[in-house]
């Protein structure tokens, strides 16, 4: 199985007032995760890639092959559906052998292919079972094996773990990642679960309102979000509205916020207000000599640490500071003022205010 690159070239799609626009590609052999809130157009994008929907403009390429107008059965795309969509009248082997048979293999060859993929997904002992007698995790693996059995160039996964419980989710996630690495199939998974996204993705695309807002390696997205939506969608984020910029006596450019002044890193070009300073919880440190002041509003035990939630005095609406207190500390008293500092160079300043 060799993966090929999937390209969306100036793709537009409209349905009612919803409008999707995409101009991007998904790297061959890589695992791309599309992350976005519900209604952002993630599933529509998969439907376009699979050929269940036709775009109103643009081209879709599998490698060099233009597949824009090809029906699903002439593409090389395997799909794992959210509700699995197993064939209820066929047993596990029948489900997995369906694709190979439809693609012209003899009954015996198709059964051999099915056996190979049942081994890979640990389903061999369930071969004769009917889908209705399987557990959620088992159904999910049948759906995966069925999608892989046509040895596709591209594998699409539509929120494949959403109806499973938390522990199963993590182990199946590992299985999927392992199988993807073994087969090298270009994979695109859509989800609204950011843990899933960060742990699986070679490449992470953030989607909102029918557009891909930012697409790159997860660590890059984490450190360097391009806009407030991305910052908000990935992890806990501290955000402070910029009141004004000032150059202080040390000739450093400072962004003044309700919590206090924050030095602007030399490598960024600060946007004019309205703008928002953002940073991650791990970069905020409790320090009696710190320049920042905020009131601890509440503290949640997170097993091993405390998650603190602070709001500065005279805060701009939306201003919030997120902090992790290490285990050694007893949680500081709530409703009290705390002094804080930021590790160097950890902030980003993005245009706009938090909504």
* Residues in contact with other proteins by the rule CB under 8 A: 50-52, 71-75, 77-79, 81, 83, 85-89, 98-99, 102-103, 146-147, 149-150
Give yes or no for a contact between 21 and 11, defined as CB atoms under 8 angstroms apart: yes
User: CA-CA-CA-CA torsion for 21, 71, 100, 5, nearest 10 degrees?
Assistant: -30
Nearer to other proteins, 88 or 317 (CB): 88
> What are 345's strand-pairing partners?
none
Q: How far is the CB of 157 from other proteins (least distance, A)?
A: 12
Nearer to other proteins, 86 or 200 (CB): 86
Residues in the chain: 355
β-strand pairing of 186-191 with 31-35: parallel
CA torsion through residues 92, 94, 96, 97, sign = positive
Q: How far is the CB of 149 from other proteins (least distance, A)?
A: 8
Nearer to other proteins, 86 or 294 (CB): 86
**b/e map 61-99, b = 16+ CB within 10 Å:** bbbeeebbebeeeebbbbbbbbebebeeeebbbbbbbbb
Q: How far is the CB of 142 from other proteins (least distance, A)?
A: 11
Nearer to other proteins, 25 or 52 (CB): 52
Nearer to other proteins, 145 or 212 (CB): 145
Other beta carbons less than 10 A from residue 298's beta carbon: 12
Q: How far is the CB of 78 from other proteins (least distance, A)?
A: 7
Q: How far is the CB of 152 from other proteins (least distance, A)?
A: 8
């Amino acid at each position: 199985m060799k993966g090929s690159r999937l390209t969306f070239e100036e793709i537009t799609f409209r349905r009612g007032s919803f409008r999707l626009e995409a101009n991007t590609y998904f790297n061959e052999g890589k695992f791309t995760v599309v992350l976005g809130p519900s209604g952002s157009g993630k599933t529509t994008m998969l439907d376009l890639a699979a050929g269940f929907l036709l775009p109103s403009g643009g081209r879709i390429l599998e490698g060099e092959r233009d597949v824009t107008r090809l029906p699903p059965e002439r593409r090389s795309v395997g799909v794992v559906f959210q509700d699995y969509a197993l064939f209820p009248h066929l047993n596990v082997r029948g489900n997995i052998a369906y694709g190979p048979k439809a693609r012209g293999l003899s009954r015996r060859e198709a059964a051999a292919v099915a056996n190979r993929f049942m081994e890979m997904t640990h389903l061999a002992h369930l071969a004769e079972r009917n889908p209705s007698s399987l557990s959620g995790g088992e159904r999910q693996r049948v759906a995966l094996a069925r999608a892989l059995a046509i040895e596709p160039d591209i594998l699409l996964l539509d929120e494949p773990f959403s109806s499973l419980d938390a522990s199963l989710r993590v182990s199946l996630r590992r299985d999927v990642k392992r199988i993807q690495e073994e087969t090298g199939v270009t994979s695109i998974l859509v989800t609204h679960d950011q843990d899933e996204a960060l742990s699986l993705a070679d490449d992470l695309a953030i989607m909102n309102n029918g557009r891909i807002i930012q697409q790159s390696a997860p660590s890059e997205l984490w450190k360097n979000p391009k806009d407030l939506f991305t910052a908000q969608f990935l992890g806990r984020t501290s955000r402070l509205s910029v009141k004004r910029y000032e150059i202080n006596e040390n000739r450093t450019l400072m962004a003044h916020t309700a919590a206090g002044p924050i030095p602007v890193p030399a490598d960024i070009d600060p946007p004019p207000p309205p703008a928002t300073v953002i940073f991650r919880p791990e970069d905020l440190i409790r320090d009696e000599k710190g320049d920042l002041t905020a009131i601890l509003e509440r503290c949640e035990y997170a097993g091993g640490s405390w998650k603190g939630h602070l709001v500065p005095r005279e805060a701009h609406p939306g201003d919030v500071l997120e902090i992790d207190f290490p285990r050694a500390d007893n949680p500081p008293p709530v409703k009290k003022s705390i002094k804080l500092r930021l590790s160097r160079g950890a902030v980003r300043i993005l245009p706009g205010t938090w909504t």
